[in-house]
Amino acid sequence: MTIETLRQVPLFESLDDAAAKKLCELLETLDCKTGTFLFRAGDAGDAMYVIEHGKVRICVRATDGHEVTLTE
């Protein structure tokens, strides 16, 4: 990911050049195919994802068992 792309994320837009460069060096690229689960409810929060291309769908299971899409 480039510094310019990183700065398009509101959380990172105010980073100075040195901090943005360092963060870019620490990022790992993850290419996912359609239908890939990045995480499931209850998983440890040990990662953060920045979507550079494509989109994600966030769903939860309702109490009656059906899937509810929160965002897409």
pTM of the entire structure?
Answer: 0.69
Distance CA 9, CA 21 (A): 14
Where in the sequence is the domain holding 10, given as residue range(s)? 3-71
Instruction: Give the integer Cα–Cα distance in Å for 68 and 15.
Output: 35
Q: How far apart are CA 5 and CA 50, in angstroms?
A: 10
Closest CA to 37 of 54, 59, 52: 59
Q: Please count the structural domains in the chain.
A: 1
Per-residue pLDDT of the chain (72 residues; tens, 9 = 90+): 899 999 999 999 999 999 999 999 999 999 999 999 999 888 999 999 998 889 999 999 999 989 999 888
